[in-house]
Amino acid sequence: MPTQVRDAYDTLADAYADFVRGKLEEDPLDRALLGVFAELVDGPVVELGCGPGRMAAHLHGLGVNVFGIDLSPRLIDIARHNHPQLRFEVGDMTALDLPDSSLGGVLSWYSIIHAPPAHLPGVLAEMHRILVPGGHLLLGFFEGPQVEPFDHKVVRAYRWPVDRLTGLGRQAGFAEVARVIRQSEAGGQRTGGALLMRKSS
Amino acid sequence: MPTQVRDAYDTLADAYADFVRGKLEEDPLDRALLGVFAELVDGPVVELGCGPGRMAAHLHGLGVNVFGIDLSPRLIDIARHNHPQLRFEVGDMTALDLPDSSLGGVLSWYSIIHAPPAHLPGVLAEMHRILVPGGHLLLGFFEGPQVEPFDHKVVRAYRWPVDRLTGLGRQAGFAEVARVIRQSEAGGQRTGGALLMRKSS
């Protein structure tokens, strides 16, 4: 599956980067959540599935020491080009080349959506491993009544009930801090979710 | 009930104002929500149940044209004293002396908690009446599995399931934009909720 996700994003990287460009500026709620995260984290932050780097760059602008990791080499090229002051590396969130307890925060913004559901406990365990005790995890995802795939434009993706994610988070050693659910705009089909958790054990 | 709430807050006004002083500065999530609200509203905003005026003052600092209303004359005195640049008036959110469709936003931060549950449809209807079409309502409240009173220090208050509030909001002509649920701190008993809605009909 990482190979499929990598290849799909590599193929569509430029179109994807165009598609997301400017979206954060139009979105007060997403910016507010990044602001909360920036204020809570203490120590370096990694964005997992950083794509063209716009979220990492926003955190950097808020004073966060942040770097980005993505499966797609082409997206990492774009991120480096767009944000030359930041560090971006190709990597796989299921097996990160990062030391234990080394980070104050992990941001994953609509990137766990591409993990096959059975892999999610392993992904959360890896996020937990790299965080310091008390470190914060901010997950963005599509919310829905059950774990099921939906028609993502790039590659297969899954929506999740927020309670399932918090349950898996708890099993991985996270405590829920807050959850946000946003309704889709008129006519939209997708409910957005954000889950802020803290490494508690 | 308004009389009881008014008298209870009048009696404890100074202690209450001391208790809430500085809390917003320590709370990135509440500040973030006010920031989102400030960015979305277009036109004047009223805070209903403004207490000593700290939330209204924060909105003012974000560039919002805001005034405050509270049942308690003593709290209104404190609000005027603390924030002389802003307008504060004694009033009752169940019967507001404000024209129809005259406001871009209504903020009610942990004030509907004191409304007897049977009065809440009337309160929401009143909020709906004073908002322009497309105007935004931001409600703060304590969340729980059912509508029930809890041990509020000042006067009887009720926690609400967020789905019940959104249901009543829908009946009043609001569409849900986003909801936020925050877990209490370790040892705390209270789950905080925030509900952002838009006047849709």
pLDDT in tens, B43-53: 999 999 999 99
Q: At what angle do helices A54-61 and A28-40 cross, to 10 degrees?
A: 60
CA A51 to CA A74: how far, in whole Å? 9
Provide CB contacts within 8 A for B4, sequence distance 6+: B155, B156
Using a cut of 0.90, tell me whether the model's pTM lies above it: yes
What is residue B183's DSSP assignment? Answer: P
- Mean pLDDT score across all residues of chain B: 95
Out of A35, A176, A183, closest to residue B178 by CB: A183
Mean pLDDT, residues A46-62 taken together: 98
Q: Do A33 and B35 touch (CB under 8 A)?
A: no
A166, closest residue in chain B (CA to CA): B183
Where in chain A does DSSP place strands (E)?
45-48, 66-70, 87-90, 103-109, 131-143, 148-150, 157-159, 174-182, 191-199
Instruction: List the beta bridge partners of residue B43.
Output: none
Instruction: Indicate which of A37, A180, A190 best probes the interface with B, i.e. most B CBs within 10 Å of its own CB.
Output: A180
Residue B42, chain A, CB below 8 Å: the answer is no
| Residue tagged 């507001």 (tokens) | B96
Partners of A106 in the β-ladder: A46, A137
Residue found by looking up tokens 């805001």 in the block: B66
Query: DSSP of A40-95, one letter per residue?
Result: H--S-EEEET-TTSHHHHHHHHTT--EEEEES-HHHHHHHHHH-TTSEEEE-BTTB
- H/E stretch holding B60 reads helix B54-61
The string of pLDDT tens digits covering residues A69-127 is: 999 999 999 999 999 999 999 999 999 999 999 999 999 999 999 999 999 999 999 99
Residue of B32, B175, B176 with shortest CB distance to A33: B32
Task: Using a CB–CB cutoff of 8 Å, tell me whether B180 touches chain A.
Answer: yes
The predicted pLDDT at position A70 comes to 97
Contact B162, B176 (CB under 8 A): no
State the average pLDDT for chain A.
95
**pLDDT over 70 for what percent of chain A?**
98
